[in-house]
Structure 1
Amino acid sequence: MQKDDERLVHSRGEEFLAVFKKGAEFTQELLRENERLRFRLLELEGQGGPAVGEGSPAEVQRLAERIANLEQEKQEILGRIKQVEAENQDFAARYLEVEDENNNLANLYIASYQLHSTLDFKEVLQIITEIIINLIGAEEFAILLLDEKSDELQAVATEGVERSEIPHQRLGKGIMGEVASSGENYFVEDVEGYQRDFASPMVCIPLKIKEHVIGVLAIYSLLMQKKQFAPVDYELFTLLAGHAATAIFSSRLYSDSERKLSTIQGFIDLLTK
């Protein structure tokens, strides 16, 4: 679909250039003809009287009508050029939208690929941190995971703030606890007017596998050059809600299994010696 849009934009662009060039040439021709006829009309009017001869008034009338027709044709061509220019601007804007969509899709693909490129828990957290900084533009944030034994959210990674500054929140309590309980995204209405509160983040996204929430992403501030969220940010939030959760869950399972395997191997080594 996007390729078709790009070909259509290119085709309409070429059509505009052709029409514009042809219109410009025709307009110049009309202006020259207009000037010649006006000169001829003035010449005939200046002669006057008998010297004009029979048929002169008819010729003057014919020339005046011809000038009027040329003026009308010129205005129609100028109107058509303006219309094509407007259409070209619309297609140029659509082309930029397609380019943005292509870039966004590429970023989303790269982010998704990176999330599943490793089973190391620390590396997964680092990749998520880089995605949040580079693609979303967050400056201060925390990744909290749910401890199912205590039903508490605990920070496992932070950026721009100390992990100790992020309070533990019980499931269903406070904004982060409510997000973890409901599985619904939370956004403040006024991003620029938000005052940092570690218990009440600017944005809180549940990290969930299907309907099972394993933690939340809490954002407290954006980079200086970023004033509000773009449409692609919400797509990234959706990606993080699912793919990041899966990557975190898988890496934790792998780390736990590796640790248990190492422990079992240690016991086996002791028994066989």
Structure 2
Amino acid sequence: MRGGGGLVIPMELEEDLLAALERTREALAMLAADSEQRSLLMISLTRELGELETKISEAAAGGEPLRRSRALSQASLAELLSALDEGIGGCERERQTLITRFEIAERSVAALGSRMISVEERRETLLNLWVAGSQLQEAESRERVRAAILEVIINLIGCEELGVFELREDGGERRLELRASMGLDEVRREPILLEAEAEDAGEAWLIARLTSPRPVPFLASQKGASVGGPPAVGRGAGMSACLPLVVDGRLEALVLTWGLLGHKLRGFTDLDRALLRLLAAHAGSALVAAHTRGPAQIPELIGVAER
């Protein structure tokens, strides 16, 4: 052991102290190194903190203009959206207006089409009447007069059955005999005996009408039914028109029709009635004197049609 100043240190203790001292030196060296690293880290953090504070200051300085710009952008966007909504609403209103106008135009076109069809039908009817009336006026024989009467009745009425009867007197007996027809059955083709006793109520009605002082036409008001018309039996069943052809108060012939086609579901129109009565007034004269008829009948016929 060593000693100094009279202090004696055992050898073993001295070695331990030296070892502890060496470890202390090493620990101090390590602490010194850690302190340097920490100082470097602190310097770096301090620098980054300063940069961050600078950025925060800059952001704070520019924040107010940014908020104002954002507010202005939002106001402009709201104004734009409002204008867009208004424009869409205006377009929708305009679309509805166009749809309404289109529907009105469609109805107008349909109505105009119906009127054009009606005008065309009337024009065709008048043309047929003119042709048939010309034939009636210019006919030089009773056969041609009958054919003209049939043509006028067929084109005007559109009936299912039609007959033209002419008066014949034989030994004091007066009868109406069939001279021209379309689609008549045997019963309706039979002569009409004006002085004989009628076989049924329909025949009796017809005879009474024809032998009256002033025979007048009968025109059904509705298809298949008419107040004051013939009883629906025998020759009277389904009769739609009875046109006595009278000249100077004397019965010369008779036009009878039965049934009406589909386009006459409501019976005769006012125009039909006027034309048929006018035809009845002139056809008898045509039969009596075909070669002496004047030219005034056709303009009169057409004039009634146009009114």
- Structure 1 and Structure 2 fold alike (TM over 0.5): yes
Amino acid at match of 1:218: L
Matched, 1:86 2:111: no
Query: Who is 1:174 aligned against?
Result: 205
Q: What residue ranges of structure 1 are gaps of 5+ in the alignment? A: 1-48, 255-273
Amino acid at match of 2:177: A
1:189-235 deviation digits (Å, cap 9, x = unpaired)? 66447856236771211213476543321224557x77645536535
Deviation at 1:150, TM superposition (A): 4.8
Q: 1:252 to 1:66 in 2, by over 3 A?
A: closer
Distance 1:207 1:164 in 2: 18
Query: Who is 1:205 aligned against?
Result: 243
Deviation at 1:66, TM superposition (A): 2.0
Deviation at 1:129, TM superposition (A): 3.3
Distance 2:138 2:95 in 1: 64
Matched, 1:240 2:265: no
Bigger drift between 232-241 and 92-101 goes to: 232-241
TM-score with structure 2 setting the length? 0.53
Matched, 1:185 2:208: no
CA RMSD of aligned residues (A): 3.9
Distance 1:141 1:54 in 2: 87
Bigger drift between 228-237 and 71-80 goes to: 228-237
Q: Which structure has the larger Rg over C-alpha atoms?
A: 2
Deviation at 1:60, TM superposition (A): 1.8
Deviation at 1:151, TM superposition (A): 8.0
Instruction: Map 1:9-20 to 2 at 5 A.
Output: none
Give the aligned length: 205
Amino acid at match of 2:194: Q
Q: Is the 8 A contact 1:141 1:217 kept in 2?
A: yes
Deviation at 1:115, TM superposition (A): 0.8
Percent of matched pairs sharing the same residue: 24
Deviation at 1:62, TM superposition (A): 2.0
TM-score with structure 1 setting the length? 0.59
Query: Who is 2:128 aligned against?
Result: 107
Q: 1:222 to 1:69 in 2, by over 3 A?
A: closer
Distance 2:247 2:72 in 1: 99
Distance 2:211 2:247 in 1: 12
Q: 1:98 to 1:226 in 2, by over 3 A?
A: closer
Query: Who is 2:143 aligned against?
Result: 122
SS for the counterpart of 1:155 is strand
SS for the counterpart of 1:214 is strand
Q: Is the 8 A contact 1:206 1:215 kept in 2?
A: yes
Matched, 1:154 2:181: no
SS for the counterpart of 1:85 is helix
Distance 1:156 1:59 in 2: 90
Instruction: Map 1:18-167 to 2 at 5 A.
Output: 52-133=73-154, 135-146=156-167, 150=172, 152-159=174-181, 160-161=184-185, 165-167=190-192
